[in-house]
Structure 1
Amino acid sequence: MSMETYTLRVEETETHDGISADVYDGDEVIAASTRVAYDDYGLAATGDDRSPEAATETVTADALSLDVQIERIDGRFEFRLLGDGEELARESVTDEEWELEREE
């Protein structure tokens, strides 16, 4: 296997009901992907004029397998890109930055 460049892109879904995390290879083809729904965590987007900015990180790695994991920690989502089980990249999305609130 040779070194490959990957980009982890974390952004709100088009329907504004969750977050998608996609990993693109050097040819801009999705190599791994996952999604989290806000309501799975009792959250909802607030405000009609929200436009959360996508978070991206680019890495170069020699990996046979890719995986994106999501963890919820203290008011934020942590997205980790793993290559062959080793962390390659991490992006964090906070409730405050993305204007997410607990549903009542």
Structure 2
Amino acid sequence: MSMQTYTLRIEETETHEGISADVYDEDDVIAASTYVAYDDHGLAANGDDRNPEAATETVTADALSLNVQVERIDGRFEFRLLGDGEELARESVTDDDWRLERSEG
């Protein structure tokens, strides 16, 4: 395997019901992906006028396998891109920045 460039892109879905985290290779093909539903964490988007900015990070790695993990920690989602089990990138999405609030439901 040779070094490749990957871009981790974290963004809210068009339906505003969750977050997708996709890893694109140099040809803009999705190499790994995960999804987090707000409802699974008792959250909801607050307001129709929101437009959270996507978080992106680009890394270069020599990896046979890619994996995106997500963890909920203290009012934020922590996304980690792993290559062959080693952390390549980390991005956080906070409830405050993305205007997420506890849902009633």
Report how far residue 86 of structure 1 moved: 0.2
Report how far residue 101 of structure 1 moved: 0.2
> If the length of structure 2 is used for normalisation, what is the TM-score?
0.98
Q: Give unmatched runs, 5+ long, in structure 1.
A: none
- Count of aligned positions: 104
Q: CA RMSD in A?
A: 0.4
For 1:68, give the aligned amino acid: V
Q: 2:50: which partner in 1?
A: 50
Report how far residue 19 of structure 1 moved: 0.1
Instruction: Output aligned runs, 1:5-84, within 5 Å.
Output: 5-84=5-84
For 1:91, give the aligned amino acid: E
For 2:4, give the aligned amino acid: E
Alignment partners' CA distance in 1, 2:58 and 2:103: 34
Q: Give unmatched runs, 5+ long, in structure 2.
A: none
> If the length of structure 1 is used for normalisation, what is the TM-score?
0.99
Report how far residue 65 of structure 1 moved: 0.1
Q: Deviations over 1:27-59 (max 9, x none)?
A: 110000000000000000001100000000000
For 1:57, give the aligned amino acid: E
Q: 2:96 aligns to what SS in structure 1? A: coil
Alignment partners' CA distance in 1, 2:16 and 2:58: 25
